[in-house]
């Protein structure tokens, strides 16, 4: 049993070593996609007309937590939106 | 003397280097602090800055820095006998590479995870940044040209390897998209990919129809083809054009699509290759047949040895990895010794087994000397000899020699192809950055920058004249590659020295290897540029003369900068917050 656990840990370590960069790049790519999605959601508040704005309001509670990191990544030191004062 | 003894002695030296010298450096020079908050924690973002287990980070660091270069250089340098090559690999790793890789990691950690390029700007100013960019540009240009030649040469020498190498491309794309879309693991699919590749290598070794042998297609070695080129030259041309089209596409794709899944498969190959060679050495217990030193060499080992073996003894490229990625993932500052120093020890061990594979391959010293008859012959055929020697070691594990040689050539080509892809990508970024710096807007566009990178690399690969005609002289650029690499290492060591000086610490352990590298580089360039390649010399070559002269000027520039900064009473402000 112990041998089995040790082997499993070894395989996990090996996989972690090899996939470190790949996981990083996939995370970066997914984050870029998410950043674009956030831009679409906040577009109306930023002055870009968005016909689906009304429906995106439902998502706000889910994305509020990530809003601060998002505007920092977009190169905006302070929140660009009047209604959202995260910093 | 048995090859095993050499491996044991080398292992002991590297172990002692890690156990004692790196401990001294960590405690007395870099003064690592276990409580220092590393950038991985301070700027944690789940993408670039991620605290990582030191074993995982070491493995990643090692697989990032180990490639074809620590094999090619030593396989050529044994021309001067095995002793000088072994001594430079071992002492270089312990006193130069370890300190350099470890130091760039610590320096970057102490400066928000910034890369050495940014730190050069911060410390010396804009001119240092531009110098740094130009040296990297020359380095990647050399890498592109040399590795394109390496791959073309191996495809011609080992046509059974072509199928496996090309099969790896769709397999890597499949793995990349599978992981991206389904977030599945990479381990099982990559092992399947490896099994498919090696199965293809085994089958192709025995079935001539599956060997893509362009020289035969063009009518054999003596045949004349289009434009009056012989079959070998035409094969070089075709392979280099195919490779350049491939790297154009590969280097403009997102890295997760092809480059990284292929890197993942290649990491398995690195483990397979190292395991196969060291175990094969243990089982076959071969004797060293190559001479200890070569008293009849047509080219002096001093100082060329120190630029022929760059990766494996010391390489500036490692500083880019240390300060570019590893520093952002270091969990504790004290892990830097394990990751940085031991990473270079791993590279040294790879170079050592490459040397052993070559020096134990020949049945007698006479046969070694017949193949390594001149420095040019060693440069042209060193890698092929390594593959045959490695095949001989692997045969000790029961693998047929022909299959083992094919698999080793697949491993080397895979490493070289990944390096080529990364290098063209890096060159594209540098061209774009220089375009932005000098307001040449078209150069900032991806496809323009990539076209410039690919066309200049292809031209540089094809221009040098080798013994087999057009396209076969890419190996002539190897000393220039080594020199550019050493210059980069020199700049990094200079930055570490300035940092240490500003902190009133002993900077001798970093400035001495830096001075040694600069001295060897300049001596080698002066002797080659003015004696071998100059228009007035017997073997004059305008291309090598011009490139060598540029590198020489850069080396002088770095040396003058080093002297002025180190001797300044009030050095420019650097991060003293540590």
The complex scores an ipTM of 0.78
pLDDT at res. B85: 97
Judged by CB atoms closer than 8 Å, whether chains meet at A22 and B64 is answered as no
Name A18's Cβ contacts closer than 8 Å, sequence gap at least 6.
B59, B60, B63, B186, B187, B190, B264, B267, B268
Q: Which of B142, B146, B380, B172 is nearest to B240 (CA)?
A: B146
Give the residue from chain A lying closest to B184, CA to CA.
Answer: A23
Residue B569: pLDDT over 80: no
B415-454 burial string, b = 16+ CB within 10 Å, else e? bbbbbbbbbbbbbbbbbbbbbeeeeeeebbeeebbbebbb
Domain spans in chain B, listed from the N-terminal domain onward: 3-567
Please report residues of A whose CB lies closer than 8 A to that of B183: 26
Tokens representing A14?
Answer: 């090996």
Q: Is the pLDDT of residue B380 over 90?
A: no
Kindly report the nearest CA distance between residue B349 and chain A, in angstroms.
Answer: 19
Calculate mean pLDDT across residues B130-159.
88
Report the candidate in B168, B419, B393 with the shortest Cα–Cα distance to residue B274: B393
Of A17, A31, A69, the CB nearest to B60: A17
- Element of type H or E holding B91: helix B82-92
Q: What average pLDDT score do residues B436-465 get?
A: 89
Average pLDDT of chain B to the nearest whole number: 88
Radius of gyration of chain B (CA): 23
Nearest to B236 by CA among B466, B575, B495: B466
pLDDT at B124 over 80: no
Cβ partners under 8 Å of residue B230, min gap 6: B221, B222, B223, B224, B468, B469
B95: helix, strand or coil: helix
**d(CA A11, nearest CA chain B) in Å:** 9
Question: Would you say residue B573 has pLDDT above 70?
Answer: no
pLDDT per position as a tens digit, B504-563: 999 999 999 999 998 998 898 888 888 888 888 877 888 888 888 988 888 888 788 878
Q: Look at residue A38 and tell me whether its pLDDT is greater than 60.
A: yes
Band of pLDDT at residue B381, cut at 50, 70 and 90: confident
Q: Which of A14, A15, A24 is the closest to B47 by Cβ? A: A24
Alpha-carbon distance A46 to B136, whole Å? 41
Pairs from B109-112 (Cβ < 8 Å, separation ≥ 24): B109/B36, B109/B38, B109/B39, B109/B327, B109/B330, B109/B333, B109/B336, B110/B36, B110/B499, B110/B575, B110/B578, B111/B575, B112/B39, B112/B42, B112/B43
At B369 the pLDDT is 92
Statement: residue B100 has pLDDT above 90 = yes
Sign of CA dihedral B301, B304, B310, B315: positive
- The reply to whether residue A22 touches residue B256, judged by beta carbons under 8 angstroms, is yes
Instruction: Give, in order, the Cα–Cα distances in Å from B446 to each of A26, B129, B435, B526.
Output: 21, 22, 11, 37
Q: For residue B186, give the nearest of A11, A19, A69 by CB distance.
A: A19
What is the model's pLDDT at position B450?
93
Task: Residue B162: count other Cβ atoms within 10 Å of its Cβ.
Answer: 26
Average pLDDT of span A2-25: 83
| Shortest CA distance from A73: residue in chain B | B45
pLDDT category at B571 given cuts 50, 70, 90 is: low
Higher per-residue confidence, B576 vs B565: B565
Q: Which residue, chain included where needed, has tokens 């410039």?
A: B452
Q: Please classify residue B196 by burial: count the beta carbons closer than 10 Å to its beta carbon, then call 0-12 exposed, 13-18 middle and 19+ buried.
A: middle
Percent of chain B with pLDDT over 90: 46
- What does the longest C-alpha to C-alpha distance in chain B come to? 70
The predicted model gives B211-235 an average pLDDT of 84
CA–CA min distance B541, chain A (Å): 42
- CA B87 – CA B66 distance, rounded (Å): 20
The pLDDT value recorded for residue B183 is 65
Model confidence, pTM: 0.87
Where is pLDDT greater, at B510 or B222? B510
> What chain A residue is nearest to B259 in terms of C-alpha separation?
A22
Is the confidence at residue B575, as pLDDT, over 50? no
Q: Taking residues B136-146, report their average pLDDT.
A: 88
Instruction: Report residue B339's pLDDT band, with 50, 70 and 90 as the boundaries.
Output: very high
Question: Using the beta-carbon criterion (under 8 Å), do A22 and B53 form an inter-chain contact?
Answer: no
Give the three-class secondary structure for B271.
helix
User: What's the rounded mean pLDDT across residues B303-329?
Assistant: 90
The rounded distance, in Å, linking the Cα atoms of B389 and B159 is 18
Is A3's pLDDT higher than 70?
yes
A to B CB pairs, distance under 8 Å: 68
Q: Is the pLDDT of residue B464 over 90?
A: no
Is the CB of A29 inside 8 Å of chain B's CB atoms? yes
- With contact defined as beta carbons under 8 Å apart, do B251 and B425 qualify? yes
pLDDT bucket at B572, cuts 50 / 70 / 90: low
pLDDT at site B570? 62
What is the mean predicted confidence (pLDDT) over A13-24? Answer: 82
Question: Is A24's CB within 8 Å of B48's CB?
Answer: yes
CA distance B174 to B166: 14
Domain ranges of chain A: 2-73
- Decide if B180 and A27 are in contact by the 8 Å CB cutoff: no
Instruction: With cut-offs at 50, 70 and 90, classify the pLDDT of residue B249.
Output: very high
CB contact under 8 A, B256 and A31: no
Residue B555, beta-bridge partner list: none
**Closest listed residue to residue B124, CA positions, set B431, B563, B430:** B563
Helical pair A2-42 and B187-206, crossing angle rounded to 10 deg: 110
Residues forming beta bridges with residue B469, ordered by sequence position:
B466
pLDDT of B454 > 60? The answer is yes
Of B239-253, B274-288, B471-485, the poorest mean pLDDT is in B471-485
pLDDT per position as a tens digit, B397-449: 888 988 999 999 999 998 888 888 888 888 888 888 888 888 888 998 989 99
Show the tokens assigned to B409.
């050539």
CB contact under 8 A, A13 and B55: yes
What pLDDT score was predicted for residue A24? 81
DSSP-H helix ranges across B229-308 = 231-252, 259-284, 301-308
More confident residue, B325 or B24: B24
Q: How far apart are the CA of A63 and the nearest CA of chain B, in angstroms?
A: 16
Best interface-test mutation with A: which of B256, B258, B263, B338 has the largest number of A CBs within 10 A?
A: B256
């Amino acid at each position: 049993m112990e041998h089995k656990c040790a082997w499993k840990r070894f395989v996990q370590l090996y996989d972690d070593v090899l996939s470190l960069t790949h996981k990083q790049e996939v995370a970066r790519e997914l984050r870029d996609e998410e950043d674009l999605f956030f831009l679409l959601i906040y577009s109306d508040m930023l002055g870009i007309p968005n016909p689906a704005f009304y429906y995106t309001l439902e998502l706000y509670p889910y994305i509020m937590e990530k809003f601060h990191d998002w505007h920092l990544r977009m190169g905006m030191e302070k929140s660009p939106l009047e209604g959202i004062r995260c910093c | 003397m048995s090859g095993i003894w050499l491996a044991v002695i080398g292992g002991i030296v590297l172990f002692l280097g890690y156990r004692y010298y790196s401990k001294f450096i960590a405690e007395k020079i870099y003064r690592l602090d276990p409580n220092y908050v590393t950038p991985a924690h301070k700027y944690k973002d789940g993408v670039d800055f991620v605290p990582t287990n030191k074993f995982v980070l070491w493995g990643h660091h090692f697989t990032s820095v180990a490639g074809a270069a620590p094999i090619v250089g030593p396989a050529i340098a044994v021309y001067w006998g095995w002793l000088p090559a072994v001594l430079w690999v071992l002492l270089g790793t312990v006193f130069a590479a370890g300190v350099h890789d470890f130091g760039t990691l610590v320096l970057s950690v102490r400066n928000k995870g910034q890369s050495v390029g940014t730190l050069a700007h911060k410390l010396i100013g804009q001119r240092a940044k531009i110098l740094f960019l130009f040296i990297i540009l020359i380095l990647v240009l050399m890498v592109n040209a040399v590795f394109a030649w390496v791959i073309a040469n191996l495809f011609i020498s080992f046509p059974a390897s072509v199928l496996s190498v090309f099969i790896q491309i769709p397999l890597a794309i499949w793995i990349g998209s599978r992981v991206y879309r389904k977030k599945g693991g990479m381990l099982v699919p990559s092992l399947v990919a490896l099994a498919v590749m090696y199965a293809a290598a085994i089958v192709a070794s025995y079935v001539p129809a599956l060997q893509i042998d362009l020289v035969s297609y063009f009518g054999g070695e003596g045949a004349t083809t289009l434009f009056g080129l012989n079959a070998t030259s035409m094969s070089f041309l075709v392979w280099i054009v195919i490779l350049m089209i491939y790297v154009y596409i590969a280097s403009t794709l997102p890295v997760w699509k092809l480059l990284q899944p292929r890197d993942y498969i290649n990491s398995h190959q690195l483990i397979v290759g190292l395991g196969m060679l060291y175990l094969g050495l243990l089982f076959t217990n071969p004797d060293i047949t190559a001479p200890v030193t070569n008293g009849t060499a047509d080219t002096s080992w001093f100082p060329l040895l120190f630029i022929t073996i760059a990766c494996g003894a010391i390489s500036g490229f490692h500083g880019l990895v240390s300060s570019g990625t590893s520093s952002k993932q270091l969990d504790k500052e004290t892990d830097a010794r394990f990751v940085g120093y031991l990473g270079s020890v791993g590279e040294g061990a790879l170079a050592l087994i490459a040397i052993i594979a070559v020096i134990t391959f020949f049945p007698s010293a006479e046969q070694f000397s017949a193949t390594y008859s001149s420095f040019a012959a060693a440069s042209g055929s060193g890698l092929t000899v390594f593959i045959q020697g490695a095949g001989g070691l692997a045969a000790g594990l029961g693998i047929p020699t022909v299959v083992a040689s094919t698999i080793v050539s697949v491993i080397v080509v895979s490493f070289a192809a990944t390096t080529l892809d990364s290098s063209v990508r890096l060159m594209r970024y540098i061209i774009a950055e220089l375009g932005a710096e000098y307001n040449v807007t078209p150069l900032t566009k991806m496809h323009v920058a990539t076209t410039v990178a690919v066309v200049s690399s292809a031209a540089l690969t094809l221009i040098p004249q080798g013994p087999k005609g057009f396209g076969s002289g890419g190996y002539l650029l190897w000393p220039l590659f080594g020199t550019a690499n050493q210059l980069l290492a020199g700049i990094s060591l200079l930055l570490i020295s300035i940092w240490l000086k500003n902190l009133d610490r002993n900077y001798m352990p970093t400035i001495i290897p830096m001075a040694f590298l600069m001295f060897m580089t300049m001596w080698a360039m002066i002797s080659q540029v003015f004696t071998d390649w100059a228009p007035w010399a017997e073997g004059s070559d305008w291309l090598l003369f011009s490139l060598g002269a540029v590198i020489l000027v850069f080396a002088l520039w770095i040396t003058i900068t080093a002297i002025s900064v180190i001797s300044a009473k009030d050095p420019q402000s650097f991060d003293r917050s540590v």
